[in-house]
Amino acid sequence: MGNVAEAQRAVSYMSYADFAGMTAAEARSHFREGKYIGHTAGIAPGMLQGNVVILPAEYALDFARYCQRNPQPCPLIGVSDTGDAMMRTLGDDIDIRTDVPAYRIYENGELVDEVADIRHMWRDDFVAFAIGCSFTFEDALIADGIRLRHIDEDRTVGMFITNIETEKAGPFSGGTVVSMRPLTVENAIRASAICARFPHAHGQPVHMGDPAAIGIKDINAPDWGDKTDFRDGEIPVFWACGVTPQNAVRSAKPSICITHAPGRMLVTDVPAWATDSKKPNSSN
Amino acid sequence: MGNVAEAQRAVSYMSYADFAGMTAAEARSHFREGKYIGHTAGIAPGMLQGNVVILPAEYALDFARYCQRNPQPCPLIGVSDTGDAMMRTLGDDIDIRTDVPAYRIYENGELVDEVADIRHMWRDDFVAFAIGCSFTFEDALIADGIRLRHIDEDRTVGMFITNIETEKAGPFSGGTVVSMRPLTVENAIRASAICARFPHAHGQPVHMGDPAAIGIKDINAPDWGDKTDFRDGEIPVFWACGVTPQNAVRSAKPSICITHAPGRMLVTDVPAWATDSKKPNSSN
Q: How far is CA A42 from CA A21, A100, B161, in A?
A: 10, 15, 41
Residue B70, in any domain of the structure? no
What does pTM read for this prediction?
Answer: 0.88
Average pLDDT value for residue range A215-222: 97
Chain B window 147-186: which residues touch A at a Cβ cutoff of 8 Å?
167, 169-170
Mark yes or no for CB contact B169/A240 under 8 Å.
no
Residues of chain B with pLDDT under 50: 1-2, 275-284
Residue B35, in any domain of the structure? yes
- Do A228 and A92 reside in the same domain of the chain? no
A60, A69, A284: residue with CB nearest B72 = A284
- Do A113 and A190 reside in the same domain of the chain? no
Mark yes or no for CB contact B277/A127 under 8 Å.
no
Mark yes or no for CB contact A203/B79 under 8 Å.
no
Print burial letters for B173-188: b (CB count within 10 Å at least 16), e (below 16).
Answer: bbbbbbbbbbbbeebb
Domain extent for A125? 4-132+248-271
- Do B150 and B190 reside in the same domain of the chain? yes
Intra-chain end-to-end CA distance of chain B, in Å: 41
Residue A59, in any domain of the structure? yes
Contact B162, B178 (CB under 8 A): yes
Contact A160, A222 (CB under 8 A): yes
Q: Which residue of A has its CA nearest to B202?
A: A284
In angstroms, the CA B39 to CA B272 distance is 18
- Do A63 and A79 reside in the same domain of the chain? yes
Chain B contact present for A81, CB below 8 A: yes
Q: For A47-71, what is each residue's pLDDT tens digit?
A: 999 999 999 999 999 999 999 999 9
- The three-state secondary structure class of A89 is coil
pLDDT at A10 over 60: no
CATH number at residue B165: 3.30.2040.10
- Do B160 and B217 reside in the same domain of the chain? yes
Residue B39, in any domain of the structure? yes
- Do A263 and A191 reside in the same domain of the chain? no
- A1 vs chain B: nearest CA distance in angstroms? 33
In angstroms, the CA B253 to CA B171 distance is 8
- Do B116 and B8 reside in the same domain of the chain? yes
CATH number at residue B39: 3.40.1640.10
Which pLDDT score, from 0 to 100, does residue B284 have?
Answer: 30
- Do A125 and A168 reside in the same domain of the chain? no
- Do B98 and B146 reside in the same domain of the chain? no
Domain count along chain A: 2
Residue B284, in any domain of the structure? no
Q: What are phi and psi of B179, to 5 degrees?
A: -105, 150
Residue B62, in any domain of the structure? no
- Do B46 and B186 reside in the same domain of the chain? no
Q: For B30-68, what is each residue's pLDDT tens digit?
A: 999 999 998 898 899 889 999 999 999 999 999 999 999
Contact B254, B200 (CB under 8 A): no
Which pLDDT score, from 0 to 100, does residue A29 have?
Answer: 96
- Do A77 and A49 reside in the same domain of the chain? yes
DSSP letters, chain B, are: ---HHHHHHHH----GGGGTT--HHHHHHHHHTT---S--TTSSTTEEEEEEEEEEHHHHHHHHHHHHH-TTT--EEEEPPTT--B-TTT-SS-BTTTSSS-EEEEETTEEEEEES--GGG--TTEEEEEEE-HHHHHHHHHHTT---HHHHTT-PPEEEEEEEEPPPBTTB--EEEEEEEEEEHHHHHHHHHHHTT-GGGT-S-SEES-GGGGT-S-TTS-SBS------TTEEEEEEE-TTHHHHHHHHH--S-EEEEPTT-PEEEEEETT--STTS--TT-
In angstroms, the CA B282 to CA A284 distance is 10
- Do A142 and A229 reside in the same domain of the chain? yes
Q: For A162-202, what is each residue's pLDDT tens digit?
A: 999 999 999 999 999 999 999 999 999 999 999 988 889 99
Q: For A122-146, what is each residue's pLDDT tens digit?
A: 999 999 999 999 988 998 899 899 9
Residues of chain A positioned with their CB less than 8 A from the CB of B78: 68
Which 8-state DSSP code applies to residue A97?
Answer: T
